[in-house]
């Protein structure tokens, strides 16, 4: 996909850069694979705001994505590539030979009419899903499982991928986009290829209103608040907070590590992600 720029005929189109989606399906999603999605506005079950700066936005239908790929040894044909408002990657509608439809994350270079399959061991072809122990070293993969039959958890957003760089006693060594290298059970599955829409990182929304359409509300600096609202607030005019940078609840930020010490999965991380 290419990027789409606009002439600055209005203030909102000045600097606007979007992904060109002209080649995607232009109709409604498959009726049997969507469900309602209610917005929380960043509030929990008690009505308290737990995620700031969320609310509003356009109504969405949730597309049910098959992250498990548990329909094994049944071939499917790609019917169309679609836009999904709930994620940065594009999705593909596939039809299995038994007539069942499903949505999967669309990898790069997957085209309409391509045939894909999920199996314990199959051809190393874009869109095919198999056990990682059977994937050749050096292969680019996405939709990576961490626990057997739990479904894909890693490398699901636009442009992300992992690379199989080795094997070790029933486990595979995977290098992720972040630079982290970790061991994963070889019985876990992954899909061949990198996730579609790598140009998503270059998008420029152009105006605050477009951000509101996506459900994001304005972000206010702590230093612009009153002392009761934020630890950085108060003072005469523009003033520094005079203390370590913290969250609204007093926890350190800007580089403060929040990962739990002695986390059980630490033993599977061979190299930490890039700082």
At residue 1, the pLDDT reads 65
At residue 21, the pLDDT reads 96
Which residues of the chain form CATH 4.10.950.10?
222-267
Q: Please name the residue that has the structure tokens 């094997």.
A: 167
At residue 257, the pLDDT reads 87
Give the H or E element holding residue 213. helix 208-213
Q: In what order do the strands lie in the sheet with 76-82?
A: 101-105, 91-96, 76-82, 115-116
Could you tell me which CATH number the domain at 222-267 has? 4.10.950.10
Looking at the whole model, is its pTM more than 0.95? Answer: no
Please give the mean pLDDT across all residues of the chain: 95
pLDDT < 70 stretches in the chain: 1, 275
Which residues of the chain form CATH 2.40.50.140?
3-201
Could you tell me which CATH number the domain at 3-201 has? 2.40.50.140
CA dist list (Å): 170 to 8, 119, 174, 216, 266:
57, 18, 13, 44, 18
- Predicted confidence (pLDDT) per residue in 16-27, tens digit: 999 999 999 999
């Amino acid at each position: 996909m290419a990027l789409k720029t606009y002439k600055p005929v209005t203030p909102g189109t000045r600097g606007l850069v979007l992904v060109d989606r002209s080649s995607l399906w232009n109709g409604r999603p498959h009726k049997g694979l969507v469900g309602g999605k209610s917005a929380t506005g960043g509030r929990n079950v008690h009505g308290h705001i737990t995620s700031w700066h969320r609310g509003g936005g356009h109504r969405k239908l949730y597309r049910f994505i098959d992250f498990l790929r548990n329909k094994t040894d049944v071939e499917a044909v790609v019917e169309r590539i679609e836009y999904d408002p709930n994620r940065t990657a594009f999705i593909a509608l596939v039809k299995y030979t038994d007539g069942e439809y499903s949505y999967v994350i669309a990898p790069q270079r997957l085209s309409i009419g391509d045939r894909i399959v999920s199996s314990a061991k199959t051809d190393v072809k874009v869109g095919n899903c198999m056990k990682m122990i059977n994937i050749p070293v050096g292969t680019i993969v996405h939709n990576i499982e961490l626990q057997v039959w739990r479904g894909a958890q890693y490398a699901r957003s636009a442009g992300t991928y992992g690379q199989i760089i080795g094997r070790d006693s029933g486990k595979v060594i995977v290098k992720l986009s972040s630079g982290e290298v970790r061991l994963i059970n070889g019985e876990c599955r992954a899909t061949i290829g990198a996730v579609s829409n790598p140009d998503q990182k270059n998008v420029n929304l152009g105006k605050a209103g477009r951000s509101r359409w996506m459900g994001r509300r304005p972000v206010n600096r702590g230093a612009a608040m009153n002392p009761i609202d934020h630890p950085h607030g108060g003072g005469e005019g523009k003033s520094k907070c005079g203390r370590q940078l913290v969250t609204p609840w007093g926890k350190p930020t800007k580089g403060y590590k929040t990962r739990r010490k002695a986390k059980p999965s630490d033993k599977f991380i061979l190299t930490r992600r890039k700082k």
